[in-house]
Structure 1
């Protein structure tokens, strides 16, 4: 039986037979019987999200924003505000208030306030997932099923694009754009679909070898496809996530060594056949690794540090880096390198210090830590989903080269995974044995 059924909780063909998808649909319909038609409709819309993410940022953003707005309206209608007592929600609210205040004090208050106000839609979506949309196993099961289908579609699109690159060019190190026309499909796989990858990895460790091997290949394929996109950080994130999930639910050292050996063999073959990919992921001759403080990566971070030192208390305002970067001075001589302007400084915590000041940095860190702790507390439920919930937020908020903290695309991917992880943390399904 599939996850969530009253019999043993998983079998191999659970992800590959249409009959099992029908079982999940039946379970979901049964689960929704006691809900209003409006709630049911929004749950079905929620399940369509992974497919909207395959189109473009605007449909995905509208989808995510709708749930934040409806969640607030639903809270007013039902007078249910218990979710506001959650510590991560309160810490997020505190950070948002600080962001609004410093934005109002910036040189372009209307622009900066607009950026700060718009950002709150992302944690609101996460709250909607945790306290409304993903409140039981049947809904989570169906979401993972739709994520699996969306991942398969993305894999086909990337395979076709990669094949065309091979036929038209000898440069195998070129990054892929997938269906977006933008170099971000690795964020879809490595960030938004991370919860699916860790579920596959954990179940692969707990099931008989024959079944577990196929699931391990499915999870490993997500890492492989993220790798061929050329997005190194996202490939590292999903790779580490799969490894952690392999140890977080059922620990089988021999199985771990076996699957690890197969994974290493697969990557060696990939790098041997496509040396351009190997070169992109190798450490040799990469200035960002061998000489970081004389690399483009450091030069993009540096102006954020200088701006944070220039305005340590209030920062320059949310979203103001892209407007003010050319005016940022070179700063003290001991801060090596030079400034290179980008829309953001490519580091979450540097951006928080730069745009929201010391108070924004402190409250932002408290917000992030509270989210990770909330997800980690789910381990006390001792279910498959709750035991893995800490992995996505812990990795996605880990200090690393990153996109815009207040931007659109990155947050759409990141908060999709974080919201689902927070919902997973509440899972109390009793048959994960």
Structure 2
């Protein structure tokens, strides 16, 4: 590594270490950090004349999507300017993903620092959210629970603390387990395990239905990976399942607010087509049916919806997106964008399946990795947009961290 490369790596690593805190306190600064990490990575690639990362299949698929969106989708969008604004700026997530997985989180020292910083950041956020639950107001943000329907926000300005902790917690645990499996550090993985009860408590107390259900699915995958990992791991899995089930039952029986959220979820599922989520999904599928090849254009969903309402073609409330990213891809990019993105997801999932059913020492990593993928890429969940700033940054940070963990696990020890 040259002197310039070391300096660039240090700068990018510093920005990455700050990103979890930036996501809490300033979305604009977080977005700037994502861009800067990508720019630094491109400068490094140019100086080292190393563009091999662009030919690796997962990144290559993302670059193909970027080209397709700007050549075939945005020029034919209902609102061309809006679509180009989203399709061109989406490049920052591709370069960020490449930088984190191929350059920044590729050495033990940086991974250690990242785990420590993320664990500390999550601990502060979780404790603030827990304080908010008992007192009613966040110490760090001043946000009250009554202002957002008795849901937790912690230091955030909106109720996304559950998704924040779940996504970053699983990804950080995956990185910590790799260091543990490679006998480079056991303390960090144990610290993540010790912090997990607090994080899970806040996730389930948050009132975020999607975060709670997806976290349960992720925990099922982690438990299954433990059952595949040996006799001691099976005993741990059984013990954790019993303790977790008892804790969740106690929470539902003693907290009317959480039980109310469960009843709301049941009502939505029992009459999905008449719920707001079902109406938005059907509207997105309607847009796709009218523009099956190129879609309506990236970020065009609320604008086209308003046109429909004005023309009397639809009476649904117009939201920024259809609350399901698969339908969002279909609606906004048509088959041109959806098919290659599905290929990208298959690549990610397949890598996790190979780890889950691979050598015994990689199976828990496979479960943690697939848990991260489920949190961001589960097809049947009500989700935020993968195109908008804050949700996309959180999703790409957690996905990139999990991919970096899987890649680091296959590196030869120095």
Tell me the alpha carbon deviations over residues 283-304 of structure 1, each in whole angstroms, 9 at most, x when there is no partner.
78x4311111121210121211
Tell me: CA distance 1:350–1:329, structure 2 relative to 1, closer, same or farther (3 Å). farther
Quick one: distance in 2 between partners of 1:214 and 1:108?
A: 49
State the match for 2:43 in structure 1. Answer: 73
Quick one: distance in 2 between partners of 1:411 and 1:215?
A: 24
Quick one: distance in 1 between partners of 2:363 and 2:164?
A: 23
Question: How far did 1:194 drift?
Answer: 2.5
Summarize the alignment of residues 172-321 of structure 1 with structure 2, pairs less than 5 Å apart: 174-197=150-173, 216=193, 218-248=195-225, 250-251=229-230, 252-282=233-263, 286-321=266-301
Quick one: distance in 2 between partners of 1:429 and 1:416?
A: 20
Question: How far did 1:212 drift?
Answer: 10
Q: Relative to structure 2, which stretch is displaced further, 64-73 or 251-260? A: 251-260
Question: How far did 1:265 drift?
Answer: 1.9
Question: How far did 1:422 drift?
Answer: 1.4
Residues 51, 150 of structure 1: 8 Å contact kept: yes
Residues 189, 222 of structure 1: 8 Å contact kept: yes
Tell me: CA distance 1:174–1:405, structure 2 relative to 1, closer, same or farther (3 Å). same
Tell me the alpha carbon deviations over residues 203-230 of structure 1, each in whole angstroms, 9 at most, x when there is no partner.
999xxxxx99986553232122111111
- Residues 1:135 and 2:106 aligned together: yes
Tell me: CA distance 1:80–1:171, structure 2 relative to 1, closer, same or farther (3 Å). closer
Quick one: distance in 1 between partners of 2:405 and 2:89?
A: 26
Structure with greater helix percent: 2
Tell me: CA distance 1:173–1:221, structure 2 relative to 1, closer, same or farther (3 Å). farther
Question: How far did 1:305 drift?
Answer: 0.9
Residues 148, 158 of structure 2: 8 Å contact kept: no
Summarize the alignment of residues 160-175 of structure 1 with structure 2, pairs less than 5 Å apart: 160-165=131-136, 174-175=150-151
Quick one: distance in 2 between partners of 1:45 and 1:319?
A: 28
Give 5+ residue unaligned stretches, structure 1. Answer: 1-30, 206-210
TM, length-normalised to structure 2: 0.83
Q: Relative to structure 2, which stretch is displaced further, 414-423 or 177-186? A: 177-186
Q: RMSD value over aligned CA atoms?
A: 3.6
Question: How far did 1:370 drift?
Answer: 2.3
Give 5+ residue unaligned stretches, structure 2. Answer: 139-143, 182-187
State the match for 1:420 in structure 2. Answer: 401
Quick one: distance in 2 between partners of 1:416 and 1:385?
A: 21
Quick one: distance in 2 between partners of 1:431 and 1:106?
A: 47
Q: Relative to structure 2, which stretch is displaced further, 46-55 or 313-322? A: 46-55
Match of 2:62 among 92, 98, 102: 92
Tell me the alpha carbon deviations over residues 16-42 of structure 1, each in whole angstroms, 9 at most, x when there is no partner.
xxxxxxxxxxxxxxx999962332233
TM, length-normalised to structure 1: 0.80
What count of residue pairs does the alignment treat as equivalent?
Answer: 393
State the match for 1:370 in structure 2. Answer: 347
Quick one: distance in 2 between partners of 1:91 and 1:98?
A: 11
Q: Relative to structure 2, which stretch is displaced further, 230-239 or 163-172? A: 163-172
Residues 375, 421 of structure 1: 8 Å contact kept: no
Residues 383, 430 of structure 1: 8 Å contact kept: no
Tell me: CA distance 1:226–1:199, structure 2 relative to 1, closer, same or farther (3 Å). farther
Tell me: CA distance 1:391–1:362, structure 2 relative to 1, closer, same or farther (3 Å). same
Tell me the alpha carbon deviations over residues 370-407 of structure 1, each in whole angstroms, 9 at most, x when there is no partner.
23334555666855885443431244211021111311
